[in-house]
Structure 1
């Protein structure tokens, strides 16, 4: 599939992997782009659950049996989070309409413990996806990614990982709707 007229990616964009991408880290991935500038790009794979639960990796949150996603192959010993709704944490960066990246972790822990913050609107990630200067633009030119400017919201947080990739492509219509149904292994078709 050809990405005619590559648009400049920006924070809040979704990068949808082409169905032919063979890299196991990004096969059928939806990456939420949190930052893109001349120094590089930072994103979180939104639809790859890890085998770990939050209460297994954060001692202060042992009461919270929340799913943790693999944010990407870089620094998988780091924890990141995104939440939707009103800004509730100091230091959060707005990356879309009512979509926030990071913020004061102690505030988050306290809010989750007291029930002032609901875990329904938060997604946690181990590691991240990173691109050096110009690397993401090169990958867009090589048709590795499709830029989707659809806003993530609470409904997106509840989509199953398998559904998210397909439903976003279908919502884009046209040729994207067609590739949404492309089989994972065309030899089995």
Structure 2
């Protein structure tokens, strides 16, 4: 068996062949990938029913001054009560921050939410509830079945593109037009 190619720091772009509707047109930033499995966060699915203000109240924190500027995203279907913050790399938690790319880091401890609420957190952030996870070999199998396209993860895609446009933008970064994709093969 060939060694696993490290995909951490790349994005997974859902292809039309994706068999799971929960991931249709999704873009997932892979935060960790090894022979033991993979973990990522969906970067283009804001929640409709949870805001930073709601999350702060639930955690017993003071009300954030700019709560409307920080929507909460669904990071994925696993452990949907668990929080993660993808953020610019100038910020580092005193407890634990993991670099994902040279420009993007991940913090999953409460102190980053406290810092965001107090206005001392990262300059740029996406707050997530839940994550996407794969067991050993599972992600590689899904990629081989054409469920995912692996692409680059520029900071502009993660933080500077509207959520509704991230799927098309991720494809465009790979020089692929969404119009050229089809879930059904044609015959001439």
Residues 1:136 and 2:133 aligned together: no
Quick one: structure 1 residues 71 and 150, their matched pair in 2 at CA, closer, same or farther if it must change by over 3 Å? Answer: closer
Q: TM-score, normalised by structure 1?
A: 0.80
Matched, 1:40 2:37: yes
Q: CA deviation at 1:62?
A: 2.9
Give the aligned CA root-mean-square deviation in angstroms. 2.4
Q: Distance in 1 between matches of 2:166 and 2:24?
A: 13
Q: Which runs of 5+ in 2 are unaligned?
A: none
How many residues get paired? 173
* Offset of residue 35 of structure 1: 0.7
Aligned to 1:27: 24
Alignment partner, residue 90 of structure 2: 86
Is the deviation greater in 20-29 or in 33-42? 20-29
Change (3 A) 1:170 1:73: same
Q: Deviations over 1:105-130 (max 9, x none)?
A: 22x24433442335x50101111101
Structure 1 Cα separation of the partners of residues 156 and 120 of structure 2: 17
Cα deviation code 1:3-46 (max 9, x no counterpart)? xxxx8242111000103424221000000001111221111111
Consecutive unaligned residues of structure 1, counting only runs of 5 or more, are 1-6
Q: Distance in 2 between matches of 1:48 and 1:157?
A: 13
Q: Aligned with 2:105: secondary structure?
A: strand
Query: Residue 166 of structure 1 aligns with which residue?
Result: 168
TM-score, scaled to structure 2 = 0.81
Query: Partner of 1:4 in structure 2?
Result: none
- Residues 29-178 of structure 1 correspond to what in structure 2 (within 5 A)? 29-51=26-48, 52-59=50-57, 60=61, 62-63=63-64, 64-65=67-68, 66-90=70-94, 91-102=96-107, 104-106=109-111, 108-117=112-121, 121-151=124-154, 153-154=155-156, 156-173=158-175, 177-178=176-177
Runs ≥4 residues deviating over 3 A: 182-186
> Is the 2:43–2:158 Cα contact (8 Å) retained in structure 1?
no
Distance in structure 2 (CA, Å) of the matches to 1:154 and 1:171? 11
Measured after TM superposition, the shift of residue 57 of structure 1 is 2.2
Distance 1:70 1:103 in 2: 14
